[in-house]
Every structure is written in C-alpha cells, then in structure tokens.
Structure 1
Amino acid sequence: MAGGSHRIICTLLFTRIDVQHKTIGLIGGIGWASTLEYYRLINEMLVARIGPAHSARIMLVSIDQADFVAHAAQPDPRAIEQFLVAEGQRLQGMGADFFLLCANGAHRFAPAVVPRIGLPFISIVEETAKKVQQAGVRKVGLLGVKQTMAGRFYHDALEQRGIATVTPDAADQDILHDLIYTELVQNILTEAGRKIFLDVMEKLRRQGVQGVILGCTEIPLLIRQGDVDMPLFNTTAIHCAAAVAFAVED
C-alpha cells in the first residue's frame, strides 16, 4: 500500500499539469465573425490542454469596424495608431497579461503601436511565418485584403526566413478585397465566393507556390484544407494556438 502511494505521488510530481497562468487580451471586432472564431478556437484549444472543466480567461475589446476604417483612412497615421494604442491600454487596464490583434491587416500598424501599449504581443505574422518555415515551404502564396497582399509586413517576415511570397495580380487583389469586406466580414459565406478564392489559389499554384497563407482571419471561415491539395496556413488557428501556448507558460 505504501509503495502504491509512493508511485502515485511520484507520478503527480513528474506529470506536467497545464494551467492558464496569463489572461489573454484580444483586440477584435474589426471583423466580428472572425473574432467569434477566435473565442471558439482559444477555448477549444485551452480545454484540450487543461481539461473540460475549464474555459479561457479572455479580455476582449471589440472595436467598431467603421471606426477602425475611418481612422485608418486618415492621412496622418497617428490617427489609427493612437486609436489602437487606446484600445490596447484598455485591455491592459482590464487585466490582460498579453494581447493579440485579431486581424492580419491591422498588423501593418503593429511596429508603431505595440511598444506604446506595454503588454507582450503575439504577432499573427511572426507566428505564421514560423509555421511556413517549419513546413519546409520555400515559396508561399498570400491572400488577404489589399493592405496585406500589397504591403511589406508579411513579405519581409517571410523573406527573413528565406521564403518567397507570391500574391495575386492587381485585378484579383481587388476582387478578393471586395469579397472579404462585402461578404466574409459579415459572415456571408457562399459557394460563389469559395470558387473565386479557389480559382485564385489555382493561379498561384501554377506560379509554383507550395502552400497558401490565408492572410485574413475571415478567409478560414470559407476555405478549408480539404478544399485544396496543397498546405493552407490558417492564420486564425495559428494565432490562437500561439496565444494558448503563451497563456499556459509559467
């Protein structure tokens, strides 16, 4: 009996039991449908790690998409930067231990915004670039809103890892951008929209890409890995997994 108790104690001592040490902060609402997906995925991933009796400690600041777009459209970049800084500081005041921007395109403002918030930051761009590198992909397609496809923030992060980035041509970028804003951010998911994305991905495949980054957090609501025969990098899921891993670290 004593030996059995000793074995149980040793097992408990040397078995890692994950707990959520840090409260997750989310700046979301830029697209409410994908913010909903963040909440679902984070909870499912956390429960898978620490058990079904739990749910995630999350602080969410849900911003109005119209406010974000209006500030981002100002000629002075300080307008959108201060807007996002204020939202991040609200998260800090609510007790978040670190934060995420629940939108790929918003990460173009991260270099100017993150240092002014004073919380650790989980970058969707860096986490996705790591996954592409780990997959051994050397040439990757990038889909998203125009600011993501035409911007440098993804290209630079991937280039630093020796990965070439291919984006759709200007006409297809316009089509995808409009589809994201008129349908996906409103949680309107259609077969016609899916076909548009798949046709663009097929064009990228013909250009030699070995995988595609779904670089808008709404795209994975419509496009799934089973739709294509090359690796897809679901930035929403990648971001959520990184957040959960950081939340359970001591």
Structure 2
Amino acid sequence: MKKLGMVGGLGPESTVEYYQSIITQYQEKMGSKEVLPELFINSINMYRVFEFISKDDLQGLANYLVEAIETLEKVGADFAVISANTPHIVFDEVNQRVSIPVYSIVEETVREAEKQGLKKVGLIGTKFTMENDFFKKPFEDRGKEVVVPTEKEQQYIHEKIVAELENGIVNEETKEHYLAIIEDMVKRDGIDGVILGCTELPMIIKEDDLELPQLNTTQIHIDRIIELMFS
C-alpha cells in the first residue's frame, strides 16, 4: 500500500475534508470500518502562500512547497499532493525539483472534463487561480475553452473565499450570489460545465444546486489519491 504525503493547511477546512473523505473511501474500498490508511499531512501556512503570490514571488512559493514535499518524503511518503488549487501556479517547477511523484489537481480535473465531454467550462476560485493561466492552459492544450467571471465577480468570489470559506463560514447569501454568477456565465458565455477551482467551494456549492455539470476539484483529487494508494 502506497503512503500519501499531503501538503495541507491550504486552507485548514479543505484539509479536513481531504482527510475525512480519504478515510471514508479507503474503508469502503477495503470493505471494513476497522482499517485506516497510513498517510502524512504537512500543514503549511496558506497566508504565506497568498503573500508569495501577491508579491509575485513565485520562486519563493516554489521553494516553500518543495521544502514541504521534501519533509513528507523524509518521513516516508511514496507520493504527494498539494491539497489546494492556487499553489499549482508553480506546480511544474515543484514537480521537477522533488524526488517523489506529485499529482496535480489541475491535470486530474482536465482528465475528468475529458471523460464528461465538456468543451467550454467556467472557472471559479481565488483571484489568483482565475486571473492566471496555470489552470486554463492544460484545458486549452486539449482543445477546451475556460471562461472566468467578470473582474467585479472575481473580486467578490475571492473576498468571500478568504473571509468566509477559509474560516469555515458558510453564508447563504454568499451561496446565492455564487450561484447567480454561475447562472450568468451560462447565459452570457455559454459554458457547459463549471470548475469549482478552490478546494473550499464544495462547502457552499453542492452537486444538486445546479443542473450544470460540476468539476469538484476536491473530490476529483481525492478519487485519484485513493487509486494511487492501491496501485
């Protein structure tokens, strides 16, 4: 059984979701509640990540993540994941600099979009995720279009993620506003699916909230982790 090393704390709420879901799916696969997976979590500081990106210090961010993954390798992890979308802005460099395999939440989401036959998807997440190309390019390389909300909508989505969701706060008014933004993207941009491109977004947007197909990056990543643990 391969041991997972997870860079967590990005933020704490989604790290808890990863941990609990991995345990649940592991036990389901094993057919017993009396087994638990052996894994390692290195919880780092998401506010340092935001600071690196705000200052455009991507080298500093890469160094921070490489150090976090090297720590996981030292304690015995066979492979690693970063349990957040935003830090994947430097994923390629990080992956090249570490010795154990690191599995990208972005690449796994692209694979799922291909399975579902989606062609033009909306992307919501932190402002860093929406305004940069690290999430869009892998989709475009496979002939898919990624659409982001307007500048004003992006600002609202980002502020609520940082002020509310990262702190475990689920506000019904925020949810209604998020859903309205997605509906506007359907009408305005003709999207045929939406990427929940922040691992806290599934706290507030549920599968039955929209008729539109959702690419829940958190669940997609967790499903892949379970596959890898048993591979």
Q: Indicate the TM-score class for this superposition, using the shorter chain for normalisation.
A: over 0.9
Q: Please state how far the C-alpha of 1:81 moved relative to its aligned partner.
A: 1.4
- 1:77, 1:210 → 2: CA distance? 32
Checking the alignment, whether the CA contact within 8 Å between 1:142 and 1:165 is kept in structure 2 is yes
Checking the alignment, whether the CA contact within 8 Å between 2:88 and 2:106 is kept in structure 1 is yes
Q: Which runs of 5+ in 1 are unaligned?
A: 1-20
- The secondary structure found in structure 1 opposite 2:121 is strand
The residue number in structure 2 matching 1:38 is 18
The residue number in structure 2 matching 1:123 is 104
The residue number in structure 1 matching 2:43 is 62
The residue number in structure 1 matching 2:8 is 28
- AA aligned opposite 1:84: L
Q: What does residue range 54-203 of structure 1 map to in structure 2 within 5 Å?
A: 54-203=35-184
Q: Please state how far the C-alpha of 1:148 moved relative to its aligned partner.
A: 0.9
- TM-score, normalised relative to structure 2: 0.96
Q: Which runs of 5+ in 2 are unaligned?
A: none
- TM-score, normalised relative to structure 1: 0.89
Checking the alignment, whether the CA contact within 8 Å between 2:49 and 2:87 is kept in structure 1 is no
Identity of aligned residues (%): 33
Q: What's the C-alpha RMSD, in Å, of the aligned pairs?
A: 1.1
Q: Please state how far the C-alpha of 1:75 moved relative to its aligned partner.
A: 4.5
- AA aligned opposite 2:203: L
- 1:204, 1:74 → 2: CA distance? 30
Instruction: Map Cα deviations across residues 40-75 of structure 1 (whole Å, 9 max, x no partner).
Output: 111111111112222121100001222333333445
Matched, 1:220 2:202: yes
- The secondary structure found in structure 1 opposite 2:117 is coil
Which residue, 30, 34, 50 being the options, matches 1:50? Answer: 30
The 1:190/1:75 distance shift into structure 2, 3 A limit, reads: closer
- AA aligned opposite 1:25: G
- 1:34, 1:211 → 2: CA distance? 22
The count of residues paired between Structure 1 and Structure 2 equals: 229
- 2:110, 2:96 → 1: CA distance? 21
- AA aligned opposite 1:98: F
